[in-house]
Amino acid sequence: MSTATSLVLACPSCHRLNRVPAERLREAPTCGQCHQPLFAGRPFDLDETGFDLHAARSDVPLLVDFWAPWCGPCRAMAPAYAQAAGVLEPEVRLAKVNTEEARTLAARFRIQSIPTMILFLHGRELARQSGAMPAQAIAQWVRQHLPLSPG
């Protein structure tokens, strides 16, 4: 009866690629390598090293918050962004990129104001939004930009 499709996603802890049956995403899957949760209900930190693995190789859309520690609006939005992770996972994964530490990524994606959120799927930018938002608005914005899933 099941025509299960497996999704590839990178572990937020060790960055190894994992295959997870789509119907098991809500069952708290763990990494086959490090055994950490693949979805923690909170954003994970991302740098240049693992960025492409998560943004381009994973089959689950990735929302990235480009921020900096000195940015007041970024710090103000952080709790809302964390709350949005709890709402959006496992349909979307949420990561944070510190633009002070990952200057190459900030330049690559032409980040001119922060916070800036970019939604990625298979390495392609689906949408971009600058400015702080509450959790409900983040979730709503993401959902309106997600591609329709087949079936």
Residues with active-site annotation:
71, 74
Q: Is the dihedral of CA 136, 139, 145, 149 positive or negative?
A: negative
Are the C-beta atoms of 75 and 96 separated by less than 8 Å?
no
Residue 7, phi-psi category: left (phi > 0), alpha (psi -120 to 50), beta (remainder):
beta
C-alpha 143/C-alpha 17 separation (Å) is 25
Q: Which 3 state secondary structure label does DSSP give 98?
A: strand
Chain centre to alpha carbon of residue 98: 14
